[in-house]
Amino acid sequence: MSERNSTAAYEVLQERFERLSALYGAQAVLHWDRATMMPEGGAGARAEQQAVISLIAHETLTAPEVAELLAAAHEADGLDEWSRANLAEMARVHAHATATPSSLVTRLSRQKSHTEMVWRKARAANDYASLAPELDKLIALVREQAAAKADAFGLSHYDALLDGYDPGRRSADIDVLFAGLESFLPGLLQEVMEHQAAGPERLPIEGPFPVAQQEKLGREVMDLIGFDFAHGRLDVSLHPFSGGVPDDSRITTRYDEADFTESLMAVIHETGHSLYERGLPAEWRSQPVGRSRGMTVHESQSLLFEMQAARTEGFIRFLAPRLKAAFGGEGPAWAPENILRHYRKVAPGFIRVQADEVSYPLHVMLRYRLERAMIAGELTAAGLPAAWNEGMESLLGIRPADDAAGCMQDIHWPSGSFGYFPTYTLGALAAAQLFEAAKRDHDGLEAALAEGDFQPLLGFVRTHVHGKGASRTPDEIVSEATGRPLGTAAFKAHIEARYLNN
């Protein structure tokens, strides 16, 4: 085929993927609306809308001519580096899509929507029995998809799902990293708890903390970090998340009038996700290479801002008088030192999203083990609560009193997201390395955070992470930005320095 025809084939593919990008964006906004604004009675209609969009996107991506266009475009010699990377991503996305039959795409979409809505009611009522049958149906469909992808890619069923969330990642890689964490984390957790118990008393900060004031404060911090309200908004949902599209970012949190700390850090976490999306290369946003590079990198960005930066002593000291003013606080409980002790409290708890950064990886390890067992057919929905409770006791030494605080707490499995969970801890490892590298790159970074200035940190990740889009693998992005492969050393050093050496 001539160079001209090969280049033309690539241009046709670009047009097709631009249309797909618009479909994915519409799907993302519909999902946001379902989680925040949609009346309960709209669930059936919304499930059908999303199923149809999923099918249209799948058919657009898997049409017979796409494979022909990809083959032709690969003969083109005149493509620049970004275009070649884009073509490789087109091929990867196409391979994932063609591995899943259209009929399964529709069934999965409908069941995901239905199971998620059942979960919302079941969790509120602590009624796992009503969720279990629907979760079993969804697991069966996810296993069907995993089998189809495994056959297509020559991978294990779980690795085939994992690749969709973290391209190129394999469970064997995770096993090595998690084994490394487990070799020191339980002992380190105990050491940190003993160190804190021997330290100054953590004084209670009395509420109530009105939601309106929490929201106002959250917006002020978002603006400080760099959130663009001309291209985004903050809302409330049962489970905090970041969605929408780069030019229309939708993030959510949830509020507790007895405790402002959770919602504020959730806002910072989701702002980190949003900043990543907004920082992707604008000229490539409608193409696969211009998308985010999987969930390990995504979670590294949220945790970089929430855990690494926003819990530095300097930033908490900057934040403390603003907290005091926002809620009319008086007395020693509102001293920066005491607020810092609240934000750095380490103790095993039942709820993952409220967990401290020392115990958090243990929550993820539990979910990783359980979802692998579910995908392997070794664990059913009926057996999940008991397996969950036993795992919590084994890893964290605690046992939840009910399923709402146990296996029903997360939205991921009811929404069909199997293979996502390990990326939270992989992201934490990457965040520690990136923060370490950013401080090397900018000597005054922590001093800037103490002034409420996030620009040096944001500038570092704009250059080394956001601007790369999907032109590199997740591990290439981390190693190029930090000078070493993803590992546990920076995370261990960070935990020891923050929680033991003070």
Residues known to be catalytic:
270
Which residues are CB-contacts of 108 (< 8 A; sequence separation ≥ 6)? 54, 138, 141, 142, 145, 416
How many other C-beta atoms lie within 10 A of the C-beta of residue 42?
13
Token reading at 202? 């953590």
- Identity of the amino acid at 328: G
How far from 357 is each of 15, 304, 345, 346, 364, CA to CA, in Å? Answer: 43, 12, 9, 8, 11
Helix (H) or strand (E) holding 160, with range, is helix 157-165
**In the block, residue with structure tokens 């991921």:** 412
- The rounded distance, in Å, linking the Cα atoms of 271 and 219 is 10
CA 217 from centroid of its chain's CA atoms: 23
Q: What is the CA radius of gyration of the chain?
A: 23
- Identity of the amino acid at 493: A
Residue closest to 369 by CA, chosen among 178, 239, 188, 187 = 178
Cβ-contact 478, 491 below 8 angstroms = no
- Identity of the amino acid at 232: G
Scanning 349-484, the segments in alpha helix (DSSP H) are: 360-375, 384-396, 422-441, 445-449, 455-464, 474-482
- The rounded distance, in Å, linking the Cα atoms of 431 and 282 is 24
